[in-house]
Amino acid sequence: MSVAVHSAVLVGIESRPVTIMAESNLGPGGLKITGLSDVATREARVRVKSALAQCDIEAGNVDVIVTPEVTGNPSGLDLAIALAITALRHKAGEEFWQQRRDAIIVGELAFDGRVHPVRGTVAHARAAGKGATGRGQIVVPKANHTDASMTEAEVFSCDTLDQAINGPLWKTLAKPGKYGDPVNAPDALDLADIASPSVRRALEIAAAGQHPLLLVGPPGSGKTQAARRLAGILPRMTDAEDLDVLTIHDAAGLRGGNAYKPPSMQRPFRAPHHTVSEIGLLGGGDNPRPGEVTLAHHGVLFLDEVHEFRKSVLESLGRVLSEGKVTLRRTATMPAAPLLVGSTNPCECGLGPDRGCTCTPERLKSYRDRAVAYESLFAMRVEVPYVPVGGVAWSPDPEAYSSSKVRARVEAARAIIARSPGAPFVLGRSIPTITPEAQRLLDTKALPFPMIRDVNLVARTVAALDDKDRITEVHMAEALSFRVRP
């Protein structure tokens, strides 16, 4: 006789269904598992037998077959394996199986029978919620319950294997609420704190048009402070975007410590160090995980000291950003469409021409040459001036420059761009309508083609912020003032 239950494994951020079949075996083999790697089999056997023993259940001679075969080391199959054996041994009631038969079951077992949280429960719950296994139900570890409940699935959870077998399981009674408005949260960073009008303006245009922005300024000028305020002026996240971000961060294992807290619903801000590996930035590996570019999806990816990043990593990043996704081995993909922001010094000594640069002409030229590696990633550039302590009296005017005001303008501009003739709002596509004067101004600059496209798109955003869907000479002049190269 045999029993089959449903489980799932994570590939990148995608849930892949797995069937766990337990069959009585007359031989003396004890618990045998096929369909997992040798290491995964050894580890799962020890955990499952030990946890079952805590419930006074002897695994006995049983074959467990995992289909399709699973690579890597997915500890999240433990609970399903243990429950399949339990059912085979008639240690669980008929009513229990009527409730669980079609559910996806995920959870890692500890030796003492506790059920540990796993990565990827949100992805699995989304798959269950789409009815992939019949009745849209999922059984997860208690610590993953809140996050799984943000999906359409009917969620049950347990703390121990004993609870999974004998119940009662916890069940979601009401969907967890979200945090309030992230822009008006007490700890939110406000755009009004940024003294430079041109930097505030560049951030607003970049947010409205999703234009990658390069901040250039000496150390201490506040480039990081500027970049950090960008996530707060992007449009409020939609429910679908919320769920995408939660799915990604849960798959990366970043939700573990906050498992009982509702998700924050803030746009992500990720700032990987320049020593980051290609896998760290773009994702991948044997048990493929999201990289920083995917963790920043729907939010901001900040490359501080972008000139220090390896050329090969920047090239790969450019490819990923142009496709908006990372493709893993086989067919799995991970979304990767953050708003990119970079920072760099004006020159090698960092002082820049205004503050007594000490670079030799040769060093200035080599610094310029290296800039080619990253400049093509950006559509806009703005200089962040150095402000000596106490040097400029800036009184923030929350009425004009607060993040919530700017975000409202950004949302209005995006609505105009979305209905502008030509195309939906897609970065890098569709050249907008333009007045002859604006076109002449652009032509006088004799820019290379990729820059013409970027300047046109930035100009369209400037026009939209001005409540227009046609680019005039004034809009074009401002767009040109933010172009990446002179």
Binding footprint of Zn ion on the chain (CB under 5 A) = 347, 349, 357, 359
Is there a contact between 340 and 296 (Cβ–Cβ < 8 Å)? no
List of long-range contacts for 442-451, beta carbons under 8 Å, 24+ apart: 442/476, 442/480, 445/480, 445/483, 447/483, 450/376, 451/483, 451/484, 451/485
Side-chain half-sphere CA neighbours of 133 within 13 A: 28
Nearer to Zn ion, 184 or 360 (CB): 360
List the structure tokens of 76. Answer: 């999240």
C-alpha distances in Å from residue 4, one per residue of 53, 64, 67: 21, 9, 11
List the structure tokens of 156. Answer: 């049950």
| Residue 46: other Cβ atoms inside 10 A | 13
Instruction: Please tell me the distance from the alpha carbon of residue 263 to that of residue 331, in angstroms, as a whole number.
Output: 29
Nearer to Zn ion, 319 or 365 (CB): 365
- Name the residue among 165, 208, 176 with its Cα closest to residue 412: 208
Three-state SS for 330? coil
Nearer to Zn ion, 357 or 412 (CB): 357
Nearest distance in Å: CB 387, Zn ion = 19
Nearest distance in Å: CB 214, Zn ion = 18
Nearer to Zn ion, 177 or 388 (CB): 388
Nearest distance in Å: CB 359, Zn ion = 3
Instruction: Please tell me the distance from the alpha carbon of residue 386 to that of residue 226, in angstroms, as a whole number.
Output: 13
> In what helix (H) or strand (E) does residue 34 lie, and over which residues does it extend?
strand 31-34
Nearest distance in Å: CB 374, Zn ion = 18
Nearest distance in Å: CB 349, Zn ion = 3
Nearest distance in Å: CB 347, Zn ion = 3
Nearer to Zn ion, 83 or 359 (CB): 359
Instruction: Please tell me the distance from the alpha carbon of residue 381 to that of residue 483, in angstroms, as a whole number.
Output: 6
Nearer to Zn ion, 84 or 359 (CB): 359
Nearer to Zn ion, 243 or 351 (CB): 351
Nearest distance in Å: CB 306, Zn ion = 17
Nearest distance in Å: CB 239, Zn ion = 48
Nearer to Zn ion, 322 or 366 (CB): 366
Q: Is 410 exposed, middle or buried (0-12, 13-18, 19+ CB in 10 A)?
A: buried
**DSSP-derived secondary structure letter, 5:** E
